[in-house]
Amino acid sequence: MRFLIIIPAHNEEEHLGFTLESLAAQTYKDFKVMVVNDGSTDNTSGVIRGYKDKDSRFESITLQKSAHQPGSKVVNAFKRGLEVTQTDGAEIICKFDADIILPENYLETVALAFKENPEYGLVGGLLYIETQTGEWVYEGNSNKSHVRGPMKAYRKECFLEMGGLRETLGWDNIDSVILEHLGWKEVVLPDLHVKLIKVKGKDYTVKQSDYYGRYFYFLGLNRFLAYIASMKEASKSKSVSFFFQIISTYEKCRSAKLELKVSKEEQKVINNRRWAMLKKKWLKI
């Protein structure tokens, strides 16, 4: 099974080399890497060139500089990379981040999982971050049955059927809901430990409350579920004001009627999935 790996990269001079080196060292060799240099102002292009010059499996395109925002921009860069390659005969389409380190058997293990399980639509490992003592520990920002955004691997048929990735906040949750609704399975392989070099979100300028408010809106959550989700986030910091800040942003988005990248039917699917999870976790139904 051939892999097409697309890596959006914005000012990743310090991290990208680790990612590309871990790909070059893979035991599984049938892959192509397209690095999308998304308006970088550092030496990201030099890092890319070092791999392109010595390995024909590594390619790149360069996009013009634009504002660096979470969610929509990274998917836009991914789509530009996909347009250039046009899947290039690949059976597995990957969206990887430019600041991860993959174990040597990562692609081999993912390929085997897809080959042996035709119902698998999305496969990935678990993210690990480094502590101050140098120990790598599970990131813990998501449940262990969800493939996180930095390391998505889709079966091509699944990717096409769900309409690709949505250029919006929440894209890496929208995909899992839609593909499972279509009958595909999202599977985490817990033995695959992926090292995340950079903590997500530290380079975003959006306030945390604004981020969550916009995230819940663009995810397509109805008001009830958005408020429940806001309460959950506010409870982590034990801040009532944080709750009101989140819902204020959410309501501003609703009032402005900002464009959603999910259809009415997909919104229904997402809300039903959220409600089912809520009943199972809190109402024990």
Which amino acid would we find at residue 233? E
User: What residue numbers bound the domain in which 226 lies?
Assistant: 208-283
Report the SS3 class of residue 46.
Answer: helix
Q: What is the largest CA-CA distance in the chain?
A: 58
pLDDT tens string 104-152: 999 999 999 999 999 999 999 999 999 989 899 998 766 789 999 999 9
pLDDT at 67: 56
Q: For Cα atoms 10, 53, 47, give the angle at the middle one, nearest 5 degrees.
A: 25
Q: What is the distance between the alpha carbons of residues 231 and 241, in angstroms, rounded to a whole number? A: 11
Report CA-CA distances (Å) from 31 to 88, 149, 170, 221, 280: 10, 20, 28, 37, 40
Q: How far apart are CA 280 and CA 285, in angstroms?
A: 5
pLDDT digits 0-9 by tens, 177-196: 999 999 999 999 999 999 99
User: Residues 15, 87: one domain?
Assistant: yes
User: Alpha-carbon distance 105 to 133, whole Å?
Assistant: 26
Q: Please count the other Cβ atoms lying within 10 Å of the Cβ belonging to residue 169.
A: 23
Residue 62 included in any domain = yes
192: its two tokens = 């695959």
Here the CATH number for the domain that contains residue 45 is 3.90.550.10
Give a yes or no: residue 202 inside a domain: no
pLDDT digits (tens, 9 = 90+) for 266-283: 999 999 999 998 887 766
Residue 8 lies in a domain: yes
Do both 182 and 219 map to the same domain? Answer: no
At residue 94, the 3 state secondary structure works out as strand
Q: Does residue 102 sit in the same domain as residue 229?
A: no
Please report the pLDDT score of residue 240 as a whole number: 95
Instruction: Give the pLDDT confidence score for residue 284 in this predicted structure.
Output: 55
Same-domain check for residues 48 and 169: yes
Last-in-domain residue among 167, 196, 225:
196
Three-state secondary-structure class, residue 153: strand
> Would you say residue 203 has pLDDT above 70?
no
- Residue that terminates a domain, selected from 196, 221, 252: 196
Task: Single out the residue of 6, 189, 215 nearest to residue 93, CA to CA.
Answer: 6
Same domain, residue pair 25 and 161: yes
Of 196, 226, 259, the residue that ends a domain is 196
Count of structural domains, the chain: 2
pLDDT tens digits along 144-174: 899 999 999 999 999 999 999 999 999 999 9
202, pLDDT greater than 60: no
Is pLDDT at 99 greater than 70 in this prediction? yes
Same domain, 33 and 174: yes
Query: What is the percent of the chain with per-residue pLDDT over 70, rounded to a whole number?
Result: 93
- Quote the mean pLDDT of the chain: 92
Answer yes or no: is pLDDT of 201 > 60: no
Using one digit for the tens of pLDDT, what is the confidence trace for 235-253? 988 999 999 999 999 999 9
The reply to whether 201 falls in a domain is no
In a shared domain, residues 231 and 268 = yes
